Amino acid sequence: MSEEKKQIEWMPKEKSWDEFRNAGLLWWANKALHLFGWALCAEMDEGKPSQIIRVYPARVKYRGFCEEVEGKGFKNLSKYLKDNIEELEKETQL
């Protein structure tokens, strides 16, 4: 494989915040950030509640999520892994 093709394969592929959130990755990132009193806060479009319009880091006093949010987070993240495991495994071989 040419060096140029290898570089192209390593280029980031921009994704939407909505896809990141729906995959459970915003929840997962915030689980880790809560340990340090931080969180990524997402502003939603009032007319389109599923659309994120802005994300910013913030200091927070709370730690962790309620049981309902935890359950939904693990469900979404597990589905993402199930749906993407083959591609994720291939990427480790590059």
Model confidence pLDDT, tens digit, residues 27-69: 999 999 999 999 999 998 888 767 888 999 999 999 999 999 9
Q: Do 29 and 17 meet the contact criterion of CB atoms below 8 Å apart?
A: no
Write down the pTM of the prediction: 0.81
> In whole numbers, what is the pLDDT of the chain averaged over residues?
90
- The whole-number pLDDT of residue 84 equals 96
Cα distance between residue 39 and residue 49, in whole Å: 20
Residue located via tokens 């291939």 = 90
Residue 25, sorted as left (phi over 0), alpha (psi -120 to 50) or beta, turns out to be: alpha
